[in-house]
Chains A and B, each alone.
Chain A
């Protein structure tokens, strides 16, 4: 008996003990996930209205709510020369319809807490509405009036325009909005539907007849679709829509197509915002249309850079450097063309450092596949967001409708997680290299004027105003200069030392300390340049791992890069000739080049030099001392033409003549800065001006 009791006690104890060990978890350790539960793509049903409109329905009985979304392809793509027309048309639909005035429409909708709105996007119009289920009949009555019987009262347009103009102005007061709009303009082109932007002027020109014509032409059901979600079923809701749209007939509208994009030259696009304490930075590259096989891979690559807390910009810009609160990075999801964009709002003083960090991260992704660990994390983020949205039936219905509009098979929606799972680090790097390389990126900055000079190292600066009109470079507003080109050249020659400069100077020898800055890495090297009249030059850059030599012998020139010698022809030769002429044989400039004096901008006179071989450079001369301050030109590369800026600084006297002590050469890929030491009229043997065999 006692034994038994003892046994019971032991058993109970051990059972208790076992229970405790089983329950005890180590709360210092990250727990393993519990048993996985399967995500099932929400059920939807398909149907058609009598007029042919495709319908998708997601039944959601959680609460007695109802919402719908009608998508009509078109939108501001059809604005043509009237940016803002589609938007005004959309807004005007609810400003008078059937027998109802704008106020009556608002009273009826607000009266039951229902919402109905019409919005124009670049690719389509969306008419969406929601209400409690009990208000469906009222909501659909108003929908039918708004969509089929708008009255477009002129006085409502008069009231609407100042509001739209105010919205435009308000947008102009936000640095990030300006930066975003300018990004679209430079990537897609100002005339392209994705890049066009309404202005105060374009809005004020639109008439009520423009709107009526636009409505008649484009608000047709030909390619439209309808998604419905809520506590309703197909059998009861389809007849109600059929009744509402009984008189809405197809009109043989051709399917929507978009023109090709027309990107601006690579470079830095800058908008001055005098009161800024922060710069809005966007670094952007064009990517591919949404059905392109690389699109989803790029989405993932974009997420590695900018996806919330897990993105590289968050880890670096925010957490390592505290430069910013909100870094971002994403790919757009338009049908015909897209862009990758990333950036942040950062304080003035770190504007250039932040761009360095961004470019470094983009370069890293383009050159090294991400680690499996990092990629898996991003995959989980992407797939997680996708699956977790399954609880939101409105989100799913938009997803289905957008896929239908984009021509993506709906089965692809269900298999999306699997496709993401199958992407490899190498896929990501390949896509990043092809479409997100920092060398092919546009840099857009909206900020304080004080930050502008720090951006020169990233490439040619194109200045725009807050309305996105160019204000510098060749398209600039310029003052007239009462000088002939030849006079300007003479003044430049005088500034360098007068006629003696060309008559008495036989040779110029330069030894320079050169610094190469390549994606954040600094390499020191040397530059050697020997120039002799007439038109002979030898030049060598030596950075150890990288060498570049150049020989010019009157009508011939050769370059040698990494042991490879090549003869320079036409445009390339003209470039070398320009370099010699502008630095030594100044009197020959007029002979070799067509000179066009563009005008005065600030304290600089802009002069364009061209040849019939396609050579093209713009030189900036100081208006008070006529010394040369800057040359802008382009260089052809396998990635297309890239802008190059050369600046001449610290002009000092050597003997009787003036020379720049510092010359900086900037392009989107690297910068070279050279500190020059000059020796004049050293004897130079002619043999050095042709390459040795």
Chain B
């Protein structure tokens, strides 16, 4: 529960409680709004694999997530794109699964599958009718240690990834943003390139390079397996042992451990983007690390700045000044550092530089004057609603549990992390605004369409 320390807070709590009582009379639903905690069981094998089971019998389905602790930040600056490349290669072949059969098996079972890669993690997931749980476990077991890293699979997926790169970065408006922002905002650290990497590194990567990467990161002690759905936990424990106990313990994966050097000067770049029809501005600030105390305050500040049409950025920049058609921001919270990306898209008759001034003014206001009680309550309500609504589907739950386990070693955060948000105070928000946003040292990327002048 939230614990208030000062008298002032006690007073405001008392005030809030009486309001609550007043509301209960007219609102019959008040009592029915408690988050239903999610129950789960922990398990582990001698080879280091960590497992979580969670029963949800809404429908006879099951979701499995295997979270590998490897991301683009574990690559060498001269050999980028490997983590994401494995996200593709892991669907090719293993010693016992023929090429390109994994998706076929899963689809034949009526299931779905996918995967994602980021700076810090690579995550694979299946959703299947519950009676195909063993299929999911078999495939995950196979590709955890028995993946075929050979020329056929590697060459096919190189072609596919290079097309993905073209589609994402070269053919979309503002497509180079994430790459440029990673380079500028996290330069000099292992976050200094976008997850997908650079074409030339992938082109020259050898089979041995990939094998080395696989052997270092794809093994039981670097993975978390989460199973959520219509399962019998006892029987599932047995199945997990059958499929994963075959692998012996190995040495720990060698991951990059680093700190991100501070930004020491303002950085700005004009990007001429013939694919864009509208000018865009992207401003990157450094932000708090995932799970740090500042992280929760910054998350609420993001809601105050950017959630909904009552948010500060929308009201000022889009509505009052009509300087942009969208104005938004999102935090990028990573294991060894963080970022805050502000962005706005405007019509071509508007100035991006003017938008930057407005964004800086809004930041300045919060850093100097802080926020209102209503704003704090709003941010907490938005967080509470999203927190609860995101925890209904088996796959959402499995991914969230895996994340909490991977980064904090504490899967129970799925039930308790909300409290960390709800205990943020007004001053905390002012403090993080001052600490992270009141600085000259940030990155600005101006995207200019053809013929745009600013």
- The chain A residues found within 8 Å of chain B, CB to CB, are 23, 25, 27-31, 33-39, 60, 62-65, 102-103, 106-107, 109-114, 130-137, 159, 162-163, 165-167, 169-170, 172-175, 231-232, 236, 273-278, 308-310, 315, 318-319, 321-326, 345-347, 376-377, 380-381, 383-385, 387-388, 390-392
B388 within 8 A of A: yes
Q: Report chain A residues within 8 Å CB of B105.
A: 30
Taking the nearest CB of chain A, how far is it from the CB of B366, in angstroms? 17
Nearest B residue (CB) for A107: B310
Nearest-Cβ distance from residue B240 to partner chain A, whole angstroms: 12
Contact pick for B345, options A170, A276, A323, CB 8 Å: A170
CA distance A377 to B111 in the complex (A): 11
**CB nearest to B235 among chain A residues:** A34
Give min CB distance, A396 to chain B, whole Å. 10
Partner of B129, one of A133, A134, A384: A384
Q: How far is the CA of A89 from the CA of B100 in the complex (A)?
A: 49
Q: How far is the CB of A90 from chain B (nearest CB, A)?
A: 15
Please give, as numbers and ranges, the residues of chain A lying within 8 Å of B388 by CB-CB distance: 63-65, 132
With known contacts A169-B278, A274-B274, A33–B325 Cβ distance under 8 A: no
Q: Tell me how far the C-beta of A140 lies from the nearest C-beta in chain B, rounded to whole angstroms.
A: 11
Among A130, A133, A346, A381, contact of B110 (Cβ-Cβ < 8 Å): A381
The 8 Å CB contact of B131, one of A37, A65, A345, is: A37
**A33/B156 in contact, CB under 8 A:** no
Tell whether B103 is near chain A: CB-to-CB under 8 Å. yes
Given the complex, which residues of B lie within 8 Å of A29, measured CB to CB?
A: 96
A310 engages B103 (CB within 8 Å) = yes
Q: In B125-168, which residues have CB < 8 Å from any A CB?
A: 127-135, 138, 141-142, 156, 158-164, 166-167
Q: Do residues A380 and B107 form an inter-chain contact, with CB atoms below 8 A?
A: yes
Bound: A228/B242 CA distance, A: 44
Given the complex, which residues of A lie within 8 Å of B242, measured CB to CB? Answer: 23, 25, 27
Are the C-beta atoms of A170 and B59 separated by less than 8 Å? Answer: no
A175 and B238 within 8 A (CB): no
Since A37-B60, A173-B449, A278-B171 are in contact, a sample of 20 more A-B pairs with Cβ atoms closer than 8 Å, ordered by chain A residue number, is A30-B105, A34-B130, A34-B133, A37-B230, A39-B59, A103-B309, A106-B309, A107-B374, A107-B378, A110-B309, A113-B386, A133-B29, A166-B278, A166-B345, A170-B277, A231-B32, A308-B103, A310-B104, A322-B158, A381-B108
Expressed in whole angstroms, the Cα–Cα distance for A326 and B318 within the complex equals 34
Flag the segment in B178-186, B352-360, B391-399, B401-409 that touches A.
B391-399
15 inter-chain pairs at a CB distance below 8 angstroms, sorted by A residue, are A30-B97, A33-B131, A111-B377, A111-B378, A113-B385, A133-B32, A134-B27, A274-B274, A276-B171, A276-B275, A278-B166, A322-B159, A381-B108, A384-B110, A392-B393
B6 at the interface (CB under 8 A from A): no
Given A27-B141, A277-B170, CB of A391 within 8 Å of CB of B394: yes
Question: Which residues does chain A contribute within 8 Å of B28, judged by CB atoms?
Answer: 236
Q: Which size class do B's interface residues fall under?
A: 35 or more
* A323 in contact with B315 given A34-B131, A309-B103 (CB within 8 Å): no
Interfacial chain A residues near B30, Cβ < 8 Å: 134
A309 with B111: CB separation less than 8 A: no
Closest to A109 in B: B308
Interchain CA distance A7-B129 in the complex, whole Å? 45
Evaluate whether A64 and B32 lie within 8 angstroms (CB atoms) in the complex, with A324-B163, A380-B110 already known. Answer: yes
Q: Known A132-B385, A377-B108, A380-B108; judge A319-B100 contact (CB<8 A).
A: yes
Known contacts A25-B242, A106-B308, A385 near B110 by CB under 8 Å: yes
B88 CB → nearest A CB, Å = 10
Contacts of A110 in B (CB 8 A): 307-311, 378, 382
Which residues of B (10-66) have their CB < 8 Å from a CB of A?
26-30, 32-36, 56, 58-61
CA distance A236 to B142 in the complex (A): 52
Q: Determine whether B389 belongs to the interface, using a CB cutoff of 8 Å to chain A.
A: yes
Report yes or no: A111 in contact with B394, Cβ–Cβ below 8 A. Answer: no
Looking at the complex, which one of A65, A112, A275, A308 makes contact with B392 (CB distance below 8 Å)? A65
Chain B residues within 8 Å of A167, by CB: 325
A306 CB, min distance to chain B CBs, angstroms: 13
> Given A65-B389, A278-B166, A345-B167, is A165 in contact with B347 using a C-beta cutoff of 8 Å?
yes
A31-B277 in contact (CB<8A): no
When the two chains form their complex, are residues B107 and A310 in contact, meaning their CB atoms are under 8 A apart? yes
| Distance in angstroms between the alpha carbons of A103 and B319 in the assembled complex | 9
Evaluate contact between A27 and B243: CB separation under 8 angstroms: yes
| A33 contacts B166, C-beta separation under 8 Å | no
Whole-angstrom CA separation of A346 from B162 in the bound complex: 11
In whole angstroms, how far apart are the Cα atoms of A115 and B252 in the complex? Answer: 46
- Tell me which of B34, B166, B277, B392 contacts A172 (CB under 8 A): B277
Partner of B319, one of A114, A159, A391: A159
How far, in Å, is B292 (CB) from chain A's closest CB? 24
Cβ of B160: which chain A residues have Cβ within 8 Å of it?
A: 318-319, 322, 325
Q: Which residues of A contact B319 (CB under 8 A)?
A: 102-103, 159
Residue of B with least CB distance to A34: B131
CB distance from B173 to the nearest CB of A (A): 4
Q: How far is the CB of A673 from chain B (nearest CB, A)?
A: 31
Cβ contact of B163, chosen from A133, A159, A276, A322, cutoff 8 A: A322
CB-CB nearest in chain B for A25:
B242
> Are the CB atoms of A63 and B382 closer together than 8 Å?
no
Cα-based distance from A376 to B129 in the complex (angstroms): 16
Q: Is B440 engaged at the interface, CB distance under 8 Å to the other chain?
A: no
Residues of B200-258 whose CB lies within 8 A of A: 230, 238, 242-243, 246
Q: Which residue of B lies closest to A274 (CB)?
A: B274
Query: If the complex has contacts A37-B60, A173-B173, are A132 and B167 also in contact, measured as CB distance less than 8 A?
Result: no
User: Do the beta carbons of A63 and B163 come within 8 Å of each other?
Assistant: no
Q: A113-B384, A390-B59 are in contact. Are A169 and B277 (CB under 8 A)?
A: yes
Bound CA–CA A36/B58 (angstroms): 16
Query: Is B278 a contact partner of A37 (Cβ separation < 8 A)?
Result: no
